[in-house]
């Protein structure tokens, strides 16, 4: 277990109310910013008071909770705000595949937050000034194939569909990657600013180099109350208002997409029921309309029976059918066999947790791993027995545009 304060003493933590800080993202320094923002509210952070690379394996979420209990449980906390997200907070990203390394938890030295008309500042240890540097654009962006070319990816979609029709599984979610190389180092703050402006309905995030804007809330825990937003079934936006309406209606009526959504809801219901004293899932999905795509969406709410932390709920839910497939175990094996790449944090849980176990975690969709001048973009979609490879490729290309916009403006 790793603490980065250079001391074995308990972490000194202080949270104080502050006036409205305005644009939270404008406060971030260039180096390793952390963010979780929706509609201008949420948390941003910088510096590292504690950091750990979570060992891969089936116990990784339990291990992460034990590490947090050790680091935050002994902290000397002076919290004048006492609300979810005040006091010490850990930002985290977990890899999609439990066997892949790279899952990370970080407690920032400084956290600035705003929610429901309140704003606060948390410092961990002695505050350190972070000089502000102007945001610089990355310049020209050059793209190249990732692990598979477009035709190769269409081929694995066709193979997956054949296996579904043969009865091996009901659904599998296949992803692909795209490599971007910029003229200059990529400033994560620029990506965050563009994403939060263009996609305010999404959760714009930055943790350990993983940056994106996800529409999918895996779970929010506030005390014993939990919420989740399930997305499965997608269509691109139309070229006109009439085309847009027609595409939405076709998505809502699509047997393939409705079945995909029902698989996702059933997976969430089965996972959450043992943890909850009450659970509500809607009978019908609704349309979630974003600037680039439309989704079938369902809001799920529940009440925890035993006060489990948000990480316990994340552990139970991941991977959902919406990002893995049905049945999940079989789908994960098919993904490992066909995709031919390491997803890293893509489609894995990303978010934050406080010392009381409250927090918000999303699924890291519409995202990229950024390092220096390079970014690795990810996108994918649910494959069914009647999936058309060309249509699935077009859907993935539409999802790539989120991060391409963030890079290019």
- Give me 5's structure tokens: 């304060």
DSSP bridge partners of 34: 45
Cα 394 to Cα 189, 191, 207: the distances in Å are 29, 24, 28
Cα gap 66→354, rounded to integer Å: 13
Q: How far is CA 171 from CA 95, 321, 327, in A?
A: 21, 8, 8
- Token output for 193: 């600013």
- 124 within 8 A of 109, measured Cβ to Cβ: yes
276: left (phi over 0), alpha (psi -120 to 50) or beta: beta
Identify which of 205, 187, 262, 153 has the alpha carbon closest to the alpha carbon of residue 36.
Answer: 205
Nearest one of 24, 166, 41 to 33, comparing CA atoms? 24
Q: Is the peptide bond before 234 cis (omega within 30 degrees of 0)?
A: no
DSSP 8-state symbol, 55: P
Q: Partners of 124 in the beta sheet?
A: 13
| From 48, 98, 154, 216, active-site residue | 216
| Closest listed residue to residue 163, CA positions, set 337, 395, 379 | 337
3-state DSSP call for residue 171?
strand
Task: Report whether 379 contacts 148 (CB < 8 A).
Answer: no
Is 227 designated active site? no
Distance CA 130, CA 112 (A): 14
Q: Active site residue: 171, 260, 360, 392, which one?
A: 171
User: For residue 312, which phi and psi values (nearest 5 degrees)?
Assistant: -65, -40
Contacts of residues 145-153 at CB distance under 8 Å and 24 or more positions apart, as own/partner, are 145/178, 145/179, 146/176, 146/177, 146/178, 146/179, 146/341, 146/376, 146/377, 147/176, 147/177, 147/339, 147/340, 147/341, 148/176, 148/339, 148/340, 148/341, 150/393, 153/393, 153/396
Which tokens in the block code for residue 389? 């490879």
Q: Rounded to a whole number, what is the distance in angstroms from the first to the last CA of the chain?
A: 40
- Residue 171 among the catalytic residues: yes
Active site residues: 171, 216
């Amino acid at each position: 277990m790793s603490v980065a304060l250079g001391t074995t003493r308990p972490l000194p933590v202080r949270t104080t109310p502050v006036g409205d800080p305005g644009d939270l993202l404008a406060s971030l320094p260039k180096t390793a910013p952390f963010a979780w923002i929706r509609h201008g509210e949420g948390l941003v952070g910088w510096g590292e008071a504690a950091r750990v690379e979570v060992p891969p394996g089936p116990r990784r979420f339990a291990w992460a909770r034990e590490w947090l209990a050790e680091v935050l449980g002994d902290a000397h906390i002076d919290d004048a705000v006492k609300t979810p997200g005040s006091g010490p907070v850990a930002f985290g990203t977990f890899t999609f595949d439990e066997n892949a390394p790279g899952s990370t938890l970080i407690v920032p030295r400084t956290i600035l937050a705003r929610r429901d008309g309140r704003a606060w500042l948390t410092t961990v240890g002695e505050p350190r000034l972070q000089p502000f540097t102007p945001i610089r654009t990355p310049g020209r962006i050059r793209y190249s194939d990732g692990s598979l070319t477009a035709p190769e990816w269409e081929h694995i979609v066709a193979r997956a569909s054949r296996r579904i029709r043969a009865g091996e599984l009901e659904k599998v979610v296949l992803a692909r990657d795209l490599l971007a190389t910029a003229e200059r180092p990529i400033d994560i703050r620029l990506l965050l600013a563009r994403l939060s402006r263009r996609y305010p309905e999404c959760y714009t995030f930055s943790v350990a180099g993983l940056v994106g804007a996800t529409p999918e809330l895996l779970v929010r825990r506030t005390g014993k109350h939990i919420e989740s937003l399930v997305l499965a079934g997608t269509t691109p936006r139309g070229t006109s208002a009439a085309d847009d309406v027609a595409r939405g209606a076709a998505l809502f009526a699509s047997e393939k997409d409705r079945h995909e959504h029902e698989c996702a809801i059933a997976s969430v219901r089965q996972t959450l029921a043992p943890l909850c004293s009450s659970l509500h899932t809607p009978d019908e999905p609704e349309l979630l309309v974003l600037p680039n795509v439309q989704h079938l969406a369902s809001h799920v709410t529940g009440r925890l029976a035993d006060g489990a932390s948000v990480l316990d709920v994340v552990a139970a839910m991941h991977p959902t059918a919406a990002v893995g497939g049905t049945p999940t175990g079989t789908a994960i094996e098919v993904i490992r066999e066909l995709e031919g790449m390491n997803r890293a944090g893509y489609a894995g849980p990303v978010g934050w947790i406080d010392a009381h176990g409250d927090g918000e975690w999303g699924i890291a969709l519409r995202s990229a791993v950024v390092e220096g001048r390079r970014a690795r973009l990810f996108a994918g979609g649910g494959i069914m027995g009647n999936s058309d490879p060309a249509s699935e490729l077009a859907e993935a290309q539409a999802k790539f545009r989120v991060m391409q916009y963030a890079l290019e403006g």
